[in-house]
Amino acid sequence: MFIQKADRKAIYNVLFRSGVMFAECAQQKRHPEEELRHLKNLQVIKTMQSLKSRGYVSEQMAWRHYYWCLNNEGIEYLRSYLHMPTEVVPTTLQRRAETGRMPRSSTDGLRGRGRGAAAAAPGRERDERDNYRRMGERAKDADKVANVGLGTGNVQFRGGFGRGKK
């Protein structure tokens, strides 16, 4: 299938920027990606099949949608085809910027997460759950019985039950 070079380059740009691509099996529909709205899904599917046959993407199909994921060889190929510097990587390979987390300290009265954060009393200890878990490690039989559940009791074999009764 003949696809214009500008259209192929637009598909490659979107694929390289995000690292993944999808297309619905409805081939006459327009592609939903903002930069590819002028293309039909058939053109995107055929371009990605070409990359798949060369081993640059892996393909997955589920619920009438194709999903393609760019692999390392594909990244190198698209980088050379689009003349991108080596510092530019797809967003699937970029690390997320760490959000500023609040340090956990037992001096503040609030728990910091969950439903009880606003309702927690100032005098309450923050790590109640951790203390409860540590207590179970110190004394297994102090608050609760550790030998509860299947396989912890004695096994009794009594005859006369089941289909093998003679």
Q: Report all structural domains of the chain as residue ranges with CATH numbers, in order of start.
A: 5-82 (1.10.10.10)
User: What percentage of the chain exceeds 90 in pLDDT?
Assistant: 26
Q: Report d(CA 22, CA 74) in Å as an integer.
A: 16
pTM metric for this prediction: 0.56
Q: Report d(CA 135, CA 149) in Å as an integer.
A: 20
Q: How many residues does the chain have?
A: 166
Q: Report d(CA 93, CA 78) in Å as an integer.
A: 15
Band of pLDDT at residue 122, cut at 50, 70 and 90: low
HSE toward the beta carbon, residue 36, CA cutoff 13 A: 25
